[in-house]
Amino acid sequence: MGDGPKTKKAKCLEDLRRRILTEELAPGSYLDETQLAEAYDMSRPPLREVLFQLAGEDYVVLHQNRGTQVAPMTHKTLRNFFVAAPMIYAAVSRLAAQHATTAQLMQLKDTQMLFRAAIRDGDAAQRALTNQKFHAIIGEMASNEYLLPSLRRLLIDHTRIAMTFYSPRNETLADQRRKAADHHDAFITYIEDGNAEAAEALAIEHWELSRDEIQSFVTPQGMQIPLGDAPWASTIKGAS
């Protein structure tokens, strides 16, 4: 019986992470502890332990007298995201090639198989979650207690941003996702070979691919609408 609460807590923790990453729980929204306790069949004390752990992992923010808020994404955090992402991804990938273990490589390969399957099936949530897990494993390979917290925070927002603009009907983005999957295969090769320089360079290229995806969503092509001549156009033509 002693394992029951722990099992419930683990399931609750995993599910809340998933719901935040896939934006089922929107950035900046507040969580209702009473509803969560009922949904996960838990009492309030173990639920609060889960929320404290999520706060420690930067999934949520705990506000005194205001409750628990899903980590917001403001203009400032998004700007800092774009500034920090290439530096963190490059450093982590370089260290991963130097320190990866055989067991971690096997886990990375298994996750890559799931990532390709999610792309093939058009499963947006699974694609985002397996991509997050792939890069989190690379972070664990890096074995650096200073970089890992930054990477974890980065991956939370990167995953949520990706969920925002995902569209299986956008062929341009579909091509980029296939290229991203090829990049993952290359990451595995470089890390397995211990090629730190190549892994670092690929991390920058891989980031640029993500940045292009985000940019194409934020600044789409304008609508091509034939407006015809302006009302005064005929007057100008006649005068000339």
The residues that bridge with 30 in the sheet, in sequence order, are 69
Q: Where are the domains positioned within the chain?
A: 3-70, 75-218
Q: Report percent pLDDT > 90 for the chain.
A: 68
Q: Taking a C-beta distance cutoff of 8 angstroms, is the pair 183, 42 a contact?
A: no
pLDDT at position 2: 46
Residue 197 has pLDDT above 90, yes or no: yes
For residue 2, which amino acid is it? G
pLDDT at position 126: 92
The CATH code for residues 3-70 is: 1.10.10.10
The angle formed by the CA atoms of residues 85, 91 and 97, to the nearest 5 degrees, is: 130
**75-218 sits in which CATH class?**
mainly alpha
63 DSSP 8-state letter? E
pLDDT at position 223: 55
Torsion of CA 86, 52, 140, 165, to 10 degrees: -40
What token pair was written down for 125? 């949530």
How does pLDDT run across 32-73, given as a tens digit for each residue? 999 999 999 999 999 999 999 999 999 999 998 889 999 999
Query: Which residues touch 79 (CB under 8 Å, ≥6 apart)?
Result: none
**CA 233 distance to own-chain centroid:** 51
Instruction: Please give the sequence-ordered ranges of beta strands (E in DSSP) within 95-229, or none if there are none.
Output: none
How does pLDDT run across 119-177, given as a tens digit for each residue? 899 888 899 999 999 999 999 999 999 999 999 999 999 999 888 765 555 555 677 88
Residue 236 has pLDDT above 70, yes or no: no
